[in-house]
Structure 1
Amino acid sequence: MSNHWCKEKVEVEVHLNVTDEEFRTNIYPRRIPAVLRGLDIGECKEKWTTDYLCQHGGHKEVKVHVSPSSQMDFINKNFMYRTLPFDELVKRASATTNTDHFIHAEEKYYLRSLGDDLRKDIADVRKQFISLAEDIKFPKFFSEDDFFSSVFRIASHGTQLWTHYDVMDNILIQVSGHKRAVLFSPRDATNLYLSGDKSEVLDIDNPDFKKYPKFANVTWYECVLKPGDVLFIPALWFHNVISLEFGVAVNVFWRQLDSSFYEKKDLYGNKDPSAASRAMQILDRALKTLDELPLEYKDFYARRMVAKIESRAYANDLV
């Protein structure tokens, strides 16, 4: 799609046949997204047909997002959670229409796999989908000690996931289907109208600039993933993903910071680092305190606070 309103549009760089060492030395330190093409991801690219997935994934029950719309909205919750056997999910998600459905025949399905015990276990395809996991190879970009989770992602054709960021580095291994990914730098956080870790701008191709005028200032990074491609998404980079057809992917997350930075009970890997959470809580209290002042004084001291943050916390050499 054409995005003439973009301040700047950047094609995500594609790197061919990258070795683990080349990734760690030349790509990883740059802290920008990269498409890695030609990696050995195992036999999954050839094997994971819908029939094969149904047979080897079996009847294991999975919790699924079901939406009447292809554009899923996590903030306003335009979807419902339902439980389906894995093979039934694959059949429904890969079909154009379904006789068996929850809302209507053309509803959309999205799986973000979870641990077996939702209160204790992280998602790891090697534990929850053992027979399928034998077919996929994870690039050795990080120490196994830093591994956090591996997540099955299955989506109907046309499904669009909301713009959000993750607090850990990750790779998206696109096994089947084509997927369009649009990414925004952490530097654009002030232009994305955030609600927690998610952007309120749902339709990024046709944004409402009256409601979201700052969104016109974002720099837009884009790529289309082919089967077998691996997308490196550095921590804090916002991403919006659209399935151009029925697709299967696996996300692998790892800790790039010392484990002490992360919330110990975070099973999804989406909670801000502990120090960041504390800082935001302190800021909320400070802003509440400023509300005690008349507007002229509140404005003056708020500007001083912003200036102090800019001088002490902003980095000038990041993307």
Structure 2
Amino acid sequence: MTLDVDNQNIKYNKRVKRRIRRRNIRGTVMFLGGSLLGGAILGASLHYILNRIFFPPGLDLAERRRRADQHFRERNADTKHFNLPSETSRLEREFDKIRQPPVDSDKLQAVLDAWQKAMDLDIMRNIPCINNWIRSYLLPTKSELKLTNMRHRTINMGPKSHKAESRFFKSERKGQRMQWEDEWDALPTSHQVRGPVVDYTNPSKYAYPSVKEASETDEDYPQLQILQQIMNRWPQDQDYIGAIHETLLHFNYSDPIERAKAERFRDLELPFKLYDIPEITAAAEKWTDDYLSDEFGDHDPYSKHPPAHKAPKQASGLAQESPNNFFAFFVPKLWEVKKLGLPPTRLNDWSYREWVRHARYADAVSLEAHKPHFYFQAGTSPGERFNEDQSFITRDLPSFGAKTEANFFLFHPEEQKGIQCRFGERGVVAATHFDGGRNMVAMMKGAKRYILSPPNQCSKLGIFTDRKSPIFRHSLLNFGHLNEMNDTNMSLEEREWLEKAATALSVETVLKRGEVLYIPSHWFHYIISVQQSAQCNVRSGIVIEGNPRFGGRQDVDICSDNPNAKMDILVGLEEDKY
């Protein structure tokens, strides 16, 4: 009897324990379920608030980012700096007013100093450049050079004055912590290494026309469109998601038959592209960021990994900065700050390694057009090809740096002006310009979008035709503004020039890793880096007459509104900075 009772008690205790265990499990499940439900409700509420109040439906990515930046500035309103974008614009407008004679020199200098300080802070804090319109007085007029009378330069701007203004042309960034670095460090590692959202080096993204023979009577090549149509189809500061249908011919350099066809197009002064070039392919494989950093002599001293090799001769390069993505060429020694205002860009003291870190950041975050951008450039002198001690540029591109024998890429080695290399980050735009020499452009990394216009379209592109101008052979027109023509803040002068530019006949192409683009003499080219890129070009020889259908030197000689303007392009050309 006692045993039965004990057994019953044991069974009872087990049932109680099971009930308690089940109750605890139910309680835990209900607690977790309630927490998840509460979190979901809270998350949904926050999502609704953010999307309905801060980011209403229908906003594109650029507008969402703009509002996020505005919210960031308002959240940090305790710092006076976040009102500086409008302050920068105000100072630029004030300078425009007081630059006209009679000039109050002290006031002018104070405005320039304040303007420079505000711009400097914008770049340090990664603040969008609100005022991105071209200053109206920096555009060609019927009097050809309203900018400045260079004959007075030696009176107003002697060597001492120009030296005193050097701070307007250079900046010191080393050792300064910048806002973008905090944003970069906060990104997950997966975002830092993933590269651009759209990879323009992917061959499957492109469709090319069939290779054909060149003919002097062929009026269908290249297929030109008006510039406005090109910009409508692919706005400058946006990615192109779909397939890209190329119209420039694409020749296989390693195929003797196709190479012979390409040579015929070259001789007719018509643009085209080449691929499968062993020399360029080998350089493209070699030119990693680490390799370039070592060759530029800026290996990270704190790295656990020593340089892969010791460069026999280290190349030198320069970094540049702009408050937005538009990089306009100018000759610093001819740029009078007290008459023209702050220059379009400045040099800074970044090494290649420091620059490339920002380039990776630009790809990772799809850097907005109105935020600060940076560029890096390097090159060789024409005489380096005769030296035993050569930089990696000449060593890795022997056809571009040929000593005496002409080849497909270098027509007249004796007229070679050196190899120029440009390292662009996503979004960087180089204003349209022409070169006298026949231009071969090789892409070793990434991709760039080129918009080419023939010489006979010169009068529509806002080109400065006076050799004394700091912008000689170049334009200051930002073609991205063709998609913003309805903005009432645009000046009348810029609007009038853009209306002309919109009708210019042009052809576009994307030059990607491993390819070479031929740009004939005097053809205009407008360049957009669609992702981190490395490109080198060499020029040699000038074709004066050009192509009968597209013009040549005579067209760029008389393209301005001043019929007496002649461009002496055979001698004394300033080298491109971009």
With the shorter chain as reference, the TM-score category is: 0.5 to 0.7
Q: Cα–Cα, structure 1 residues 28 and 222, in superposed 2: closer, same or farther, change >3 Å? A: same
Alignment partner of 2:297 out of 58, 64, 86: 58
Partner of 2:228: 5
Query: How many residue pairs align between the two structures?
Result: 255
Alignment partner of 2:347 out of 55, 78, 81: 81
Alignment partner of 1:153 out of 411, 422, 425: 422
The Cα of 1:86 is off from its aligned counterpart by 3.3
Counterpart residue type for residue 130 of structure 1: S
Residues 183-194 of structure 1: matches in 2 within 5 Å? 183-194=452-463
Q: Cα–Cα, structure 1 residues 230 and 207, in superposed 2: closer, same or farther, change >3 Å? A: farther
The Cα of 1:7 is off from its aligned counterpart by 9.2
Q: Aligned-residue CA RMSD in angstroms?
A: 3.8
1:167 is the counterpart of 2:436: yes
Partner of 1:225: 511
The Cα of 1:29 is off from its aligned counterpart by 1.7
Deviation by residue 1:146-171 (Cα, 9 ceiling, x = unmatched):
32221111011111111111111111
Distance across 2 between alignment mates of 1:67 and 1:86 = 17
SS in 2 for 1:91: helix
1:131 is the counterpart of 2:392: yes
Percent identical residues? 21
Distance across 2 between alignment mates of 1:163 and 1:125 = 29
Residues 9-158 of structure 1: matches in 2 within 5 Å? 11-17=247-253, 19=256, 22=260, 25-40=263-278, 41-59=280-298, 61-74=316-329, 77-96=343-362, 107-114=372-379, 121-122=381-382, 130-138=391-399, 140-141=407-408, 142-158=411-427
Alignment partner of 2:473 out of 197, 215, 220: 197
Distance across 1 between alignment mates of 2:443 and 2:386 = 17
Distance across 2 between alignment mates of 1:83 and 1:125 = 28
Distance across 1 between alignment mates of 2:226 and 2:383 = 36
Deviation by residue 1:95-137 (Cα, 9 ceiling, x = unmatched):
3399xxxxxxx6322223245xxxxx55969979623543334
SS in 1 for 2:527: strand
Distance across 2 between alignment mates of 1:124 and 1:91 = 29
Distance across 1 between alignment mates of 2:542 and 2:277 = 22
Distance across 1 between alignment mates of 2:384 and 2:446 = 22
Alignment partner of 2:483 out of 206, 213, 219: 206
Distance across 1 between alignment mates of 2:328 and 2:392 = 33
Higher strand residue share: 1
Distance across 2 between alignment mates of 1:4 and 1:146 = 33
Unaligned runs of at least 5 residues, structure 1: 99-105, 116-120, 259-271, 286-319
Q: Is the 8 A contact 1:153 1:248 kept in 2?
A: yes
Q: Is the 8 A contact 2:352 2:376 kept in 1?
A: no
Q: Is the 8 A contact 1:113 1:123 kept in 2?
A: no
Distance across 2 between alignment mates of 1:111 and 1:7 = 28
The Cα of 1:182 is off from its aligned counterpart by 0.5
Higher helix residue share: 2
Partner of 1:216: 502
**Normalized against structure 2, the TM-score is what?**
0.39
Deviation by residue 1:212-245 (Cα, 9 ceiling, x = unmatched):
2222321121101120010001111000111111
Distance across 1 between alignment mates of 2:230 and 2:276 = 32
Partner of 1:306: none
SS in 2 for 1:252: strand
Which region of structure 1 is more displaced relative to structure 2, 17-26 or 66-75? Answer: 17-26
Deviation by residue 1:157-211 (Cα, 9 ceiling, x = unmatched):
1111111111111111001101111010101001112123112321245374842
Partner of 1:283: 564
The Cα of 1:145 is off from its aligned counterpart by 2.6
The Cα of 1:39 is off from its aligned counterpart by 1.8
SS in 2 for 1:217: coil
Distance across 1 between alignment mates of 2:565 and 2:415 = 32
Q: Is the 8 A contact 1:57 1:129 kept in 2?
A: no
Distance across 1 between alignment mates of 2:385 and 2:349 = 18
Distance across 1 between alignment mates of 2:227 and 2:416 = 40
Unaligned runs of at least 5 residues, structure 2: 1-224, 234-245, 299-314, 331-341, 365-370, 401-406, 465-471, 486-493, 545-552, 567-578
Counterpart residue type for residue 211 of structure 1: E
Distance across 1 between alignment mates of 2:423 and 2:563 = 39
Larger Rg: 2
The Cα of 1:61 is off from its aligned counterpart by 4.7
Q: Is the 8 A contact 2:441 2:535 kept in 1?
A: yes
Q: Cα–Cα, structure 1 residues 218 and 207, in superposed 2: closer, same or farther, change >3 Å? A: farther
